[in-house]
C-alpha cells in the first residue's frame, strides 16, 4: 500500500467518524473503483454506505472485503451488523460464527453473537460462546454479555457474581453498574439494586432504563412514593418509554385500584404517538387486567389493522379477545406468527389460539415445536397436555395423574413455636403488614386481592422465616413420593431441590385465581395460612385442577379439587392448569406460594 493510498483511507475513516458520510462515500467509491482488490477500501466504503442508509450496497462491499481478507474477523462482525439491519438473521449469525472461526477469542464477535442469541431466546447457546472467554480472561465486554446470558437463564446469583467482578474494576463505567443493578433487581435484592442504580446515575448514567431499574428497586422496598417519582423521571427523559409506562401504570393501579389514574400517563403518550404499538400494549393490558376487556381490545385495535401490524400487538390482541372470541383471537395470532415465526412467546399465543379455535392438532404441533426449543418450559408441556385431552390421547393421563402428582401435606411446625396453630397466628399477623397495596398486579393470576412485592425469603421477620423451615420436610417427602419415571415431572427429580421465588396473596371476598400455569417452575404450590369460613360452603375458595385458562372446544372442566385447610401445603406439577373458586362472606383468604426446581 502506497503512502498516498494509506492517507486516503485515513481521510475516509475520519470522515465516517465525524459523520460526513456523503463525502466519505464519494472518496471511498473512487478508491474502491481504482483498487477493487484492496480490502480496507471496500470495508470502509461498506461502513460509509451503511451509515448513509444504503444497506444493500454496504452488504455488497463488506462481503467483498471479507472475501479479500480471509483473516481479519472484524469485517465479518461489521457485515453481520448490516445483515441484521436488513433482517437477514440467519446470515447475520453465520457471519458472526465465521468471525469466531477466524479468531475464537475475538471479543466483539463473541459479544455480538451472544447478544444475538439472547435476543432470539437462546441464552444457553450464548453462554457456550462467552464461557471460554470468561474462563480465560477478564475482558469487561465478555464478562458483561456472559452475565446477560446467565440472567436470561434465571441464574441470577451467578449473573450478579460476574457483574460484581466488572464493577470492582477501577475503570468500570456506568453501563456495567447499570447491568449489575438489573440483575440485583431481578433477584429481588432491592436494597443493593437501588444502591447500584444510584451509583450508575452518579457516574453519569442518564438513560431512562437506569432510572427505571431504580424505580423497580424502590417499589420492591415498599418506598412507593419515591418509586412513582423515579418512574416519572424516566418518562420525563423518554416520554415514549413503554417499560416505564408499564411499571408506573402497574404501581398506581395496585396502590389505588383506579384504572383512569393508572392509565393517565400512557394516555398522554399515546396522544402524542397514537400508532406506537408498545404504548398501546401497555394501555390494553392495564384495561384487560382491570376487567375492561372490550375497552382493552378497542385500545389495541388501531395498531393491528393490517397485514404488516406489529406482531407483539397482534399477540396481545389475541390474548385479550381469546376468552370472548376464539376465532378472532386465531386471526390475530396467525398474523403475529407470520410476522415473527421464530418468537417463542408468539408461538405460545398461537398454540393457545389454536385451542381456542377448536384446532387441537395444530395446537399440539405448536406445543411440540416449543418443547423442541425449550424442553423444560412448563407452559409448552401444559398446552400439549390440553391438546391431547381434547384429542382423547391417552398420553394426557400420563401428565395429569392427579393421584400420583397432586398431594397435600401438613406443614412442619417451625422451631420456636409450640404448635403449628401458634405459628399460623403469628404468620397471619406478619403477612398482613406486607399486604399494603389495594389491587392485584397486572400480569398475575389473582383478581380482587393483593400480592407481596418482594420474595418472602428476603424478610427478616421470624414468622416468615419460619415458613421455609415448615415447608422443607413436606417438599422433600413429596419429591420422594413421586418415584422414578420418564415423564417431564419425574425425569427431572434429583432428590434435591431449591425454591424459585416465594410470595403471598391476600384475596378479598369475591376474589379468585384465574386458571393458569407456572412456565418457569417444576413443582408449584399453595400454602394456606388463614382461610374464610366460606370454604365450608360448596367449593368456595377451593383450588381446582385441569380447567384451562383459555377457552377450548368443547370446554374442559376441572377434574380434581382440593379443599384448603390452614397449615396445608398442596404440591403439584407446574404445568398443570389450576385456579380457585370465588368465595363470599367478609373474611380474606391468605396464602403463600413458591415454585420448586430440582437442585
Q: What is the pLDDT of residues 336-358, one digit of tens each?
A: 999 999 899 999 999 999 999 99
pLDDT for 493 equals: 96
pLDDT surpassing 80 at residue 306: no
Domain with CATH 2.60.120.620 in the chain: 403-598
Q: In the predicted model, what is the mean pLDDT of residues 437-444?
A: 93
CA distance 320 to 443: 12
Q: What percent of the chain has pLDDT over 90?
A: 91
Q: What is the pLDDT of residue 595?
A: 97
Residue 99's pLDDT is 96
Confidence of residue 137 (pLDDT cuts 50, 70, 90): confident
Grid cell at residue 76 = 465479518
30 and 44 Cβ atoms separated by less than 8 Å: no
Residue 119 C-alpha cell reads as: 435476543
| DSSP states along 403-453 | HHH-EEEEPPPPTTSSSHHHHHHHHHHHHHHH---SSPPTTSSEEEEEE-S
Render pLDDT for 286-299 as a digit per residue (tens, 0 to 9).
999 999 999 999 99
pLDDT (mean) for 461-465: 97
Residues 576-587: what's their mean pLDDT? 97
Cβ atoms of 373 and 344 closer than 8 Å: yes
Q: Is pLDDT at 170 greater than 90 in this prediction? A: no
pLDDT(1) > 80: no
Is the pLDDT reported for residue 454 higher than 90?
no
How much of the chain, in percent, has pLDDT values that exceed 70?
100
Residue 597 pLDDT: 96
Residue 8: which of 35, 67, 68 has the closest Cα? Answer: 35
Residue 41 is predicted with a pLDDT of 94
From its phi and psi, is residue 417 left (phi > 0), alpha (psi between -120 and 50) or beta?
A: beta
Compute the distance between CA of residue 256 and CA of residue 252 in angstroms, rounded to an integer.
Answer: 6
Residue 598 in contact with residue 522, Cβ under 8 Å?
A: yes
φ/ψ of 559, rounded to 5, equals -115, -15
Q: Taking the mean position of all CA atoms in its chain, how far away is CA 485?
A: 30
Region 520-541 average pLDDT:
97
Give Cβ neighbours of residue 283 (< 8 Å, ≥ 6 apart).
Answer: 249, 263, 266, 267, 270, 296, 299
State the pLDDT at residue 117. 94
Give the architecture (CATH level 2) of 403-598. Sandwich (2.60)
Task: State the average pLDDT for the chain.
Answer: 95
Q: How far apart are CA 345 and CA 84, in angstroms?
A: 21
Q: What is the pLDDT of residues 109-128, one digit of tens each?
A: 999 999 999 988 889 999 99
Rounded-to-integer distance, Cα 423 and Cα 462, Å:
10
Cβ 208 vs Cβ 244: under 8 Å: yes
- At the topology level of CATH, where does 304-390 sit? 1.25.40
- Taking residues 528-552, report their average pLDDT: 97
pLDDT of residue 135: 85
Residue 506, SS3 per DSSP: strand
How far, in Å, CA of 231 to CA of 205, rounded?
A: 15
Residue intervals in the chain for CATH 1.25.40.10:
304-390
**Model pLDDT, residue 308:** 79
- Alpha-carbon distance 290 to 486, whole Å? 41
* pLDDT score, position 92: 96
pLDDT for residue 173 is more than 90:
no
Give yes or no for residue 48 having a pLDDT over 90: yes
Predicted local distance difference test score (pLDDT) of residue 200: 95
Q: What pLDDT digit, counting tens, does each position of 418-433 carry?
A: 999 999 999 999 999 9
Q: What is the DSSP letter of 533?
A: G
CA 183 to chain centre: 13
Q: How many CA atoms lie within 13 A of 22 on its CB side?
A: 0
Task: Give the residue-averaged pLDDT of 71-83.
Answer: 95
Please determine, for residue 508, whether its predicted confidence score (pLDDT) is greater than 90. yes
List all residues 6 or more positions away from 356 whose beta carbon is below 8 Å from its beta carbon. 322, 326, 329, 330, 550, 551, 552, 553
Q: 235 near 244, Cβ under 8 Å?
A: yes
Rounded-to-integer distance, Cα 68 and Cα 43, Å: 10
Q: Which pLDDT score, from 0 to 100, does residue 544 have? A: 98
Predicted model pTM: 0.87
Sheet of 543-545, strands arranged across: 560-562, 543-545, 578-580
pLDDT for residue 257 is more than 80: yes
Q: Cα separation of 432 and 429, whole Å?
A: 5
What is the distance between the alpha carbons of residues 88 and 64, in angstroms, rounded to a whole number? Answer: 17
Tell me, what's the pLDDT at 120?
86
Contacts for 161-165: CB closer than 8 Å, 24+ residues apart: 162/134, 165/138
Alpha-carbon distance of 86 to 92, in angstroms, equals 9
Cβ distance 352 to 366 under 8 Å? Answer: no
Is the pLDDT reported for residue 516 higher than 80?
yes
CA distances 75 to 36, 45, 401, 405, 527, Å, are 16, 12, 56, 55, 57
Q: Residue 348 has what pLDDT?
A: 97
Task: Sort 203 into a burial class: Cβ within 10 Å, 0-12 / 13-18 / 19+.
Answer: middle
Coil, helix or strand at residue 542 = coil
Per-residue pLDDT, 85: 95
Amino acid at each position: 500500500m502506497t503512502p498516498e493510498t494509506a492517507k486516503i483511507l485515513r481521510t475516509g475513516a475520519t470522515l465516517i467518524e465525524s459523520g460526513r458520510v456523503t463525502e466519505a462515500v464519494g472518496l471511498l467509491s473512487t478508491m474502491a473503483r481504482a483498487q477493487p482488490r484492496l480490502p480496507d477500501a471496500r470495508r470502509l466504503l461498506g461502513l460509509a454506505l451503511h451509515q448513509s442508509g444504503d444497506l444493500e450496497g454496504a452488504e455488497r462491499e463488506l462481503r467483498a472485503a471479507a472475501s479479500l481478507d480471509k483473516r481479519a474477523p472484524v469485517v465479518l462482525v461489521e457485515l453481520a451488523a448490516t445483515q441484521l439491519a436488513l433482517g437477514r438473521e440467519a446470515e447475520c449469525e453465520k457471519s458472526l460464527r465465521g468471525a469466531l472461526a477466524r479468531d475464537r477469542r475475538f471479543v466483539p464477535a463473541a459479544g455480538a453473537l451472544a447478544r444475538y442469541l439472547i435476543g432470539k431466546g437462546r441464552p444457553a447457546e450464548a453462554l457456550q460462546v462467552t464461557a471460554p472467554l470468561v474462563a480465560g480472561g477478564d475482558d469487561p465486554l465478555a464478562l458483561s454479555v456472559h452475565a446477560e446470558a446467565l440472567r436470561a437463564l434465571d441464574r441470577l446469583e451467578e449473573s450478579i457474581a460476574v457483574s460484581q467482578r466488572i464493577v470492582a474494576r477501577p475503570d468500570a463505567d456506568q453501563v456495567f453498574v447499570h447491568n449489575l443493578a438489573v440483575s440485583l433487581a431481578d433477584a429481588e435484592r432491592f436494597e443493593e439494586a437501588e444502591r447500584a442504580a444510584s451509583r450508575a446515575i452518579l457516574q453519569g448514567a442518564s438513560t431512562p432504563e437506569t432510572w427505571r431499574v431504580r424505580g423497580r428497586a424502590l417499589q420492591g422496598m415498599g418506598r412507593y412514593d419515591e418509586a412513582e417519582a423515579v418512574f416519572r423521571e424516566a418518562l420525563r427523559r423518554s416520554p415514549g418509554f413503554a417499560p416505564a409506562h408499564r411499571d408506573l401504570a402497574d404501581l398506581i393501579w395496585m396502590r389505588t385500584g383506579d384504572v383512569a389514574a393508572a392509565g393517565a400517563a400512557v394516555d398522554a403518550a399515546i396522544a402524542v404517538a397514537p400508532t406506537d404499538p408498545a404504548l398501546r400494549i401497555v394501555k390494553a393490558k392495564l384495561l384487560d387486567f382491570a376487567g375492561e376487556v372490550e375497552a382493552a381490545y378497542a385500545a389495541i385495535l388501531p395498531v393491528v389493522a393490517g397485514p404488516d401490524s406489529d406482531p407483539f400487538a397482534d399477540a396481545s390482541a389475541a390474548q385479550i379477545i381469546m376468552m370472548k372470541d376464539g376465532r378472532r383471537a386465531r386471526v390475530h395470532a396467525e398474523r403475529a406468527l407470520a410476522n415473527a415465526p421464530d418468537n417463542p412467546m408468539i408461538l405460545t399465543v398461537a398454540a393457545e389460539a389454536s385451542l381456542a379455535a377448536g384446532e387441537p392438532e395444530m395446537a399440539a404441533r405448536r406445543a411440540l415445536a416449543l418443547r423442541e426449543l425449550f424442553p423444560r418450559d412448563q407452559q409448552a408441556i401444559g398446552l400439549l397436555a390440553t391438546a391431547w385431552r381434547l384429542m382423547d390421547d391417552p398420553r394426557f393421563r400420563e401428565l395429569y395423574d392427579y393421584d400420583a402428582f397432586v398431594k397435600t401435606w401438613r406443614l412442619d411446625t417451625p422451631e420456636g413455636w409450640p404448635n403449628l396453630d401458634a405459628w399460623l397466628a403469628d404468620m397471619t399477623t406478619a403477612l398482613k403488614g406486607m399486604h399494603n397495596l389495594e389491587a392485584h398486579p397486572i400480569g398475575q393470576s389473582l383478581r380482587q386481592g393483593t400480592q407481596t412485592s418482594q420474595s418472602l425469603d428476603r424478610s427478616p421477620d421470624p414468622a416468615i422465616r419460619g415458613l421455609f423451615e415448615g415447608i422443607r420436610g413436606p417438599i422433600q417427602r413429596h419429591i420422594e413420593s413421586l418415584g422414578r419415571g420418564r415423564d417431564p415431572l419425574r425425569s427431572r427429580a434429583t432428590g434435591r431441590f431449591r425454591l424459585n421465588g416465594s410470595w403471598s396473596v391476600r384475596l378479598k371476598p369475591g376474589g379468585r385465581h384465574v386458571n393458569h400455569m407456572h412456565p418457569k417452575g417444576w413443582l408449584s404450590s399453595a400454602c394456606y395460612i388463614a382461610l374464610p369460613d366460606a370454604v365450608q360452603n360448596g367449593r368456595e375458595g377451593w383450588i381446582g385442577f385441569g380447567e384451562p385458562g383459555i377457552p377450548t372446544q368443547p370446554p374442559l372442566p376441572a377434574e380434581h379439587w382440593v379443599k384448603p385447610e390452614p397449615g396445608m401445603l398442596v404440591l403439584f406439577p407446574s404445568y398443570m392448569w389450576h385456579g380457585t373458586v370465588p368465595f363470599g362472606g367478609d373474611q380474606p383468604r391468605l396464602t403463600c406460594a413458591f415454585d420448586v426446581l430440582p437442585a
